[in-house]
Amino acid sequence: MNECFSQPVTGVAGRTIQLLDRYSTDYNHTQIILGSRTRALNISSYNYLGFAQSHGGCADAVEEGLKRYGISTCGSRLEGGSSELHTVTESLVAKFVGQEAAVISSMGFATNSTFIPALVSKGCLVISDELNHASIRVGVRNSGAHVRMFKHNDMHNLEALLREVISQGQPKSHRPWKKILVILEGMYSMEGTMCDLPGVLKLKDKYKFNLMVDEAHSIGAIGSHGRGVCDYFGADPTKVDVLMGTFTKSFGASGGYISGSKTLIDRLRIRGYSGAYAESISPVVLTQIIASMASIMGVESVPLAVSSGASKLALASASSSSSPPHHQQQEHYHHPGPISQRALPTWLSLPPSLASGSEGQMRLRRLSFNSYYLHRGLEKLGFISTGHPSSPIATLLIFNPGKLIMFHRLMKDRKTPIVTVVVGYPATPLISSRVRFCVSASHTKEDIDEVLRACDEVGDVLDLKHGKPKGERWAVDEVCNRAVELVRIPDHEH
């Protein structure tokens, strides 16, 4: 299994990536680096909007930030590690997600594991989706709060559990809970499924619990404005008490944030472990966050414009796949609009295409097209693929863990090598082994064609096509030729 994991790479984790070739003489107990490199199509990295690049407006801004601020602030947020860039970033994040305030952390995993203990404690109850990330589980465990699980995205099971815990109260004493916090993810990293936010908000209005949504994989990646599940479903972000997210996936950076009311965030700054004990985010990383986020939002002083008629057509054709059907929308989401130039560092200068927001919007549309195309292409070829078609995460179920190594090797050893992520136990149940594809806006339509053709060939060799009877499957050439038609099919008709 070591052949599949810990693959050393070099260079930028962009559309393609360079693999360091290696071999083993002891059945993969140890690996020997050969010194040669193989450039492979990268369908495995969290680079949803393609901002992980070594050139362009964001990279230029990072270079200027390095000259001005250096590498590190050499301290925690509460002990001399806060710079003006931290304040600017937190204000920008709050506006981006539609909340009053935000606090940032230097690591996405640590955002959950260090701030959740400041949200709940002994005498509180956490109700968690059964597929929530390990960082949430660690944070809840460290908090001392009681925890109950509900079936994944099952609102009936959640409501039944709420009725039980509210009526029964705390174990033994039966006193009322100090606080009930429901935690779920906007987009589930191993499934690619999206949370039922409208359903949860209806239950929240009825049972008056607190709600936390982890948007690590959804922020910047879904919704017509890239603002995550609230944007996608048209829900008011302030109805979600705590919005968490990371900068790793869509912004080409690192770290995470918690956003909510100013009262809540002020408390978390003091009570969260990250504020006192964790190194603050590097100024270089903060510059990348500011530049990429401003590129999505647009800067107020520059008019929003699309450069060509072809681009306008692309925007219009893809808009239907960026938002849910009209009957699903809450109609309470208010887009905050572009950011004011005064809210950014005075020295930061973005190219016109980034400052106008046009390039950010095009990246969102390309990501949406690629996501829908890969999801529906895999299904038409006959694979069992889970997840929402808007999700940049597409999973291909293999089931037999013995086939993981062969799938990884056959994809990598092709004429056009493709590097993939295969996932098995304990990250998934033993019999639910899978391949996880991560789509990027930097991928072209031809790149997705190549992935589908490779999956079609490898799927026949390893007998992985169990989603459709042979007579109902499409040929791979038909899938590639009818890509636009596949993307435009409404979700409820697919």
pLDDT digits (tens, 9 = 90+) for 414-461: 999 999 999 988 878 888 899 999 999 999 999 999 999 999 999 999
Both tokens assigned to 14: 């962009």
**251 in any annotated domain:** yes
Query: For position 29, which CATH number holds?
Result: 3.90.1150.10
**Distance, CA of 282 to CA of 80 (rounded, Å):** 13
Is the domain of 76 the same as that of 166? Answer: yes
**Is there a contact between 416 and 410 (Cβ–Cβ < 8 Å)?**
no
Is the domain of 128 the same as that of 274? Answer: yes
**348 in any annotated domain:** no
> Which of 280, 297, 314 is a domain's end point?
297
**17 in any annotated domain:** yes
> Which of 274, 297, 320 is a domain's end point?
297
Residues of the chain with pLDDT under 70: 1-2, 301-333, 491-494
Is the domain of 267 the same as that of 135? Answer: yes
Is the domain of 141 the same as that of 32? Answer: no
**30 in any annotated domain:** yes
Backbone angles phi, psi at 243, to 5 degrees: -110, 120
Is the domain of 392 the same as that of 268? Answer: no
**349 in any annotated domain:** no
**414 in any annotated domain:** yes
Is the domain of 221 the same as that of 77? Answer: yes
pLDDT given for residue 320 in this prediction: 42
Is the domain of 20 the same as that of 151? Answer: no
Is the domain of 202 the same as that of 247? Answer: yes
**314 in any annotated domain:** no
**Distance, CA of 156 to CA of 328 (rounded, Å):** 18
Is the domain of 414 the same as that of 438? Answer: yes
Q: How many CA atoms lie within 13 A of 47 on its CB side?
A: 19
**Residues spanned by the domain of 87:** 57-297
Is the domain of 26 the same as that of 85? Answer: no
Is the domain of 83 the same as that of 34? Answer: no
Is the domain of 109 the same as that of 176? Answer: yes
Domain count along the chain: 2
Query: For position 261, which CATH number holds?
Result: 3.40.640.10
Within 10 angstroms of residue 324's Cβ, the number of other Cβ atoms is: 20
**42 in any annotated domain:** yes
> Which of 265, 297, 329 is a domain's end point?
297
pLDDT given for residue 39 in this prediction: 96
